[in-house]
């Protein structure tokens, strides 16, 4: 059996230090008691992650999350006017 490699260090970001962990395929990271992030596959420079979280916690790719936030800050569109006969 291959030993588990775990690298733990801080990476400076605009919000403070980011926790950086190294994982191999089929290894999991836990966030609290309810969220599991598993490395499903690694192909070249792409990593596929599986995320298991409770339904009440939304999970989005960052670019989708940013688009949702951007759209939610706009005023809602008026409902379409029904046609008059």
Contact predicate 60/67, CB 8 Å: no
Contact predicate 28/36, CB 8 Å: yes
38/34 Cα distance (integer angstroms): 13
Token pair in block for residue 48: 């596929």
Residue pLDDT, tens place only, 37-72: 999 999 999 999 999 999 999 999 999 999 999 888
pTM (predicted TM-score):
0.66
* Owning domain of residue 62: 25-72
The answer to whether position 83 is within a domain reads no
pLDDT band for 11, please (50, 70, 90 cuts). low
47/38 Cα distance (integer angstroms): 10
The answer to whether position 84 is within a domain reads no
Q: What is the SS3 assignment for 71?
A: helix
The answer to whether position 33 is within a domain reads yes
């Amino acid at each position: 059996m291959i030993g588990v490699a775990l690298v733990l260090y801080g990476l400076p970001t605009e919000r403070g230090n980011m926790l950086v962990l190294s994982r191999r395929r089929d290894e999991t990271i836990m966030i609290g008691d309810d969220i599991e992030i598993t490395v499903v596959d690694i192909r070249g420079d792409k990593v596929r992650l599986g995320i298991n979280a409770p339904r009440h916690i939304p999970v989005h790719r960052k670019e989708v999350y940013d688009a949702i936030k951007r759209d939610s800050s706009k005023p809602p569109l008026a409902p379409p006017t029904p046609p008059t006969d």
